[in-house]
Amino acid sequence: MSAIQEIITHHESEIDLSEPVSKKSKLMPTEPLSKLEEDARIYEYTSAANPNMSQIPVMVHPASLHETGPTRIIPFDLSRQMEIEYPCSSPNLIASFLRICPNESLNTQATATSQAFYIIRGSGRSVSDEDEIEWSEGDLFVIPACESQVVHTASSDSAIYWVNDMPLMQYLGVQPATKKFQTTLFRKERLLAEVERIKHQPGAEHRNRMGILLGNRITEENTKTLTHTLWSLLNMLPARDAQRPHRHNSVALDLCVSAESGDKVYTLMCPELDEEGWVKNPIKCVWKSGAVFSTPPGWWHSHHNETDTPAWVLPMQDAGLYTHQRTLDIRFSSGK
């Protein structure tokens, strides 16, 4: 069994809910219910306050999916595991790979407030409602709500990591009414230069993460996130380093940007810490360049690099929402 296959898991809750009070004969009204009352349900609080919902699994979307084959969209769909009726990678987000062969085009469309595109490899351009973006490997751009399709044309063999909040719109049964931000582009050279700058700041070696949060003009006075819903971090994992565990309430959809081949760069994750402040009885997720893995909400996770080459990861989360609600609850293990 491969390392990728070994980490695929699904944790089922064993909570058993009581029947709704409205179904118990002793509490049923003696008069027939009106049509407006038929959909009403009433529950005893302690048995229903923490409902039995399918948990968010740890799963991998391997890079092999976008390395060969025709031009296409390859969704990272975990809806079956989470028992959600529409495609999603987490309750609020859907992630996909876009594979585009040289000199071909691919159209994408999402009823979403925010769409993020990270260029895994290749070069080309994308055209949305009002903007045209020229891109190459390592660039990232975000597009606000748009009515038309986004047309992506590749000038060389290309793969793009695409994340948007369409599942949130489907859950709410709504469509975006306004554009909350302008199309925003982050060039690879600017991102790497900023990482290099902070790497040389005093005390940088003691930080839990050697990374940069990606923000936007419309969020700089509040959440400081990529958009009002999306959050992203370009995180460098230095050679021969281990970043101590941290946790947060948002689901992470982590793209391994680059890592040495083999099994020496990995993430350990689990709900608990041991007495030394490291992940207890962890699931091991090996980093593979161009692959995506999911980290469930509230799970402690630590990143480890046992090679002589820095590794890079780009998580995408719905943490813009959690930060706005003051519920992200990000915590770092300090150890013993």
Considering the chain, what is the average pLDDT of its residues?
90
Report if residue 195 sits inside a domain: yes
Domain assignment of residue 13, yes or no: no
In the chain, which stretches have pLDDT less than 50? 1-26
SS3 204: helix
Cα–Cα dist 264/251, whole Å: 24
The answer to whether residue 272 sits within a structural domain is: yes
Q: What tokens were used for 220?
A: 């700089």
Identify any residues that bridge with 127 across adjacent strands, giving them in sequence order: 132, 151
Question: Could you tell me the end-to-end alpha-carbon distance of the chain, in angstroms, rounded to an integer?
Answer: 35
Whether residue 294 is contained in a domain is answered as yes
pTM across the whole model? 0.88
Residue 1 placed within a domain: no
For residue 114, tell me if it sits in a domain: yes
Q: Which CATH number covers residue 163? A: 2.60.120.10
Per-residue model confidence (pLDDT) at position 210: 76
pLDDT number for residue 334: 82
Integer Cα distance of 70 and 222 in angstroms: 42
Q: Which domain holds residue 190?
A: 60-201+209-332
The token pair that represents 260 in the structure block:
């040495």
Please write the tens of the pLDDT for every residue from 280-315: 999 999 999 999 999 999 999 999 999 999 999 999
Residue written as token pair 């780009």: 314
Q: How far is CA 3 from the centre of its chain?
A: 21
Question: pLDDT tens for residues 272-281?
Answer: 999 999 999 9
Q: What is the pLDDT of residue 11?
A: 39
* pLDDT reported for residue 122: 98
Query: What residue type is assigned to position 291 of the chain?
Result: A
* Interatomic CA distance for residues 174 and 310, integer angstroms: 43
**Which of 264, 218, 214 minimizes the C-alpha distance to 237?**
264
Residue at 250 is within a domain: yes
The order of strands in the sheet holding 150-154 is: 105-108, 150-154, 123-127, 132-136
Report how many domains make up the chain.
1
What pLDDT is attached to residue 16?
Answer: 41
Helix (H, G, I), strand (E, B) or coil at 136: strand
